[in-house]
Amino acid sequence: MALKLYYNLMSQPSRALYILLKATKCNFESNYVDLRKGEHFTEGFSKINRLQKIPVIDHNGLLLSESVAIVNYLSREGLIPETLYPRVSRTRALVQEYLEWQHVGLRLHCAMYFRVKYLDPILLGRTPSEEQIKGYEERMVSALELLETKWLGRGTDFIVGNNITVADLWAACELEQPRMAGFDAKDKFPNIATWWAKVRQNFNPHYDEAHIILNKIVQKQQKASKL
Helix, strand, coil proportions of the chain in percent (round to 5)? 60, 5, 30
- Of the candidates 76, 126, 216, 220, which one interacts with a copy of itself according to CB under 8 A? 76
Question: Which residues, numbered 142-171, are part of the site for a copy of itself (CB under 8 A)?
Answer: 146, 150
Q: Does 62 bind a copy of itself (CB under 8 A)?
A: yes
Q: Does 177 bind a copy of itself (CB under 8 A)?
A: no
Q: Does 12 bind a copy of itself (CB under 8 A)?
A: no
- Of the candidates 51, 123, 197, 213, which one interacts with a copy of itself according to CB under 8 A? 51
Q: Residues 6 or more apart from 22 whose CB is under 8 A from it? A: 206, 209, 210
Q: Residues 6 or more apart from 151 whose CB is under 8 A from it? A: 98, 101, 159, 171
- Comparing CB distances to a copy of itself, the nearer of 17 and 211 is 17
Stretch that binds a copy of itself, among 73-81, 117-125, 178-186, 215-223 (CB under 8 A): 73-81
Edge-first strand order for the sheet with 29-32 is: 29-32, 3-7, 56-59, 62-65
Closest CA to 101 of 205, 210, 174, 163: 174
Site string for a copy of itself, 80-109 (x = CB under 8 A): ---------xx-xxx-xx-xxx-xxx-xx-
- Comparing CB distances to a copy of itself, the nearer of 154 and 188 is 154
- Comparing CB distances to a copy of itself, the nearer of 134 and 150 is 150
Question: Which residues, numbered 105-134, are part of the site for a copy of itself (CB under 8 A)?
Answer: 105, 107-108
Closest CA to 26 of 86, 72, 80: 80
What is each CA distance from 212 to 141, 205, 208, 215, 218, in whole angstroms?
25, 11, 6, 5, 10
Residues that bind a copy of itself (CB under 8 A): 50-51, 62, 64-70, 72-73, 76-77, 89-90, 92-94, 96-97, 99-101, 103-105, 107-108, 146, 150
